[in-house]
Chain A
Amino acid sequence: MKSLHLVVTSVTGFLLILGSLDVPDTGDPSSPPSLHVSPRYIERGFAETDVPNMVTAVLADYRSFDTLGEVTVVFAAAMSVLLILRGGRRRA
């Protein structure tokens, strides 16, 4: 059983190394992520949103629906834990 898990893990790792051959080098300024969508956030972010922190601008404006989803996950976790634990036996 243990050896099966080792084999599965090694195959996964090997596949990922194989896939990484075509991933651009770390910090490469001409990699697709640096050239395709993100330049607009940097170049026009302040002009469009009035917020100097681009991470905040993307988080709370360009992709604010993702953030709503993120807060929903936190809310879901709180409600889930409440649902799982609070009905059971409880101390005071």
Chain B
Amino acid sequence: MTEFVIGHFNIITYIVLMMIGFYAMTGKTNLVKKLVGMNIFQWSIILFVVSLGAKRGATIPILLDDANHDRNPEVVLDAMQYVNPLPHVLMLTAIVVGVATTGVALALLLRIYSQYGTLEEDELLETIRSAGNPSAPSR
């Protein structure tokens, strides 16, 4: 148990964060709070995947200037010396995707607010129902 917690502290952290985000996303009625929850949720997953790249005793994946290869392209490096660059690349993309989704969601929130004057989900549904729109989203 203790070994699991020590070895997987990153995973425990991300699961706690993810649960906070997931609860905010599904349980909160304010749309901005849902959006905040969505961001926490995405970022927790990004934390998880980035932490998969870690290697004990390794440095950042940029070639050291003072390494003995002297920048000779023929020398094969030791893979244990640098951390895994792949999760960093993947999560850079995921971060961009998260930012882009947030931008689009904010634009939608602006439109919703200018149209209905509220961002509370129950009030919104009430307004849409009372407007007699047959295609109001159901709960």
Main secondary structure of the interface of B (DSSP, over half): helix
Let me know if A84 is at the binding interface, CB within 8 A.
yes
A58:B26 contact, CB within 8 angstroms: no
B104:A27 contact, CB within 8 angstroms: no
Within 8 A of A (CB), among B72-102: 73-82, 84-90, 92-93, 96-97, 99-101
Cross-interface CB contact of B93 among A9, A21, A26, A70, cutoff 8 Å: A70
A34:B55 contact, CB within 8 angstroms: yes
Nearest residue, chain A, Cβ from B108: A84
Bin the interface of chain A by size: 35 or more
Contacts of B135 in A (CB 8 A): none
With A26-B51, A27-B54 given, is the CB distance from A54 to B107 under 8 Å?
A: no
A29:B56 contact, CB within 8 angstroms: yes
Task: Report Cα–Cα, A88/B99, bound state, in Å.
Answer: 23
Within 8 A of A (CB), among B1-39: 4, 7-12, 15-16, 18-19, 22-23, 26-27
* 11 contacts across the A-B interface (CB closer than 8 A): A6-B27, A25-B8, A26-B54, A43-B76, A54-B63, A54-B85, A57-B85, A59-B89, A73-B97, A74-B99, A85-B111
Seen from chain A, the residues whose Cβ lies within 8 Å of a Cβ on chain B are 1-2, 5-6, 8-10, 12-13, 16-17, 20-21, 23, 25-29, 31, 33-34, 37-39, 41-47, 50, 52-55, 57-59, 63, 66-67, 69-70, 73-74, 76-77, 80-81, 84-85, 88-89
Seen from chain B, the residues whose Cβ lies within 8 Å of a Cβ on chain A are 4, 7-12, 15-16, 18-19, 22-23, 26-27, 51-58, 61-63, 71, 73-82, 84-90, 92-93, 96-97, 99-101, 103-104, 107-108, 110-111, 114
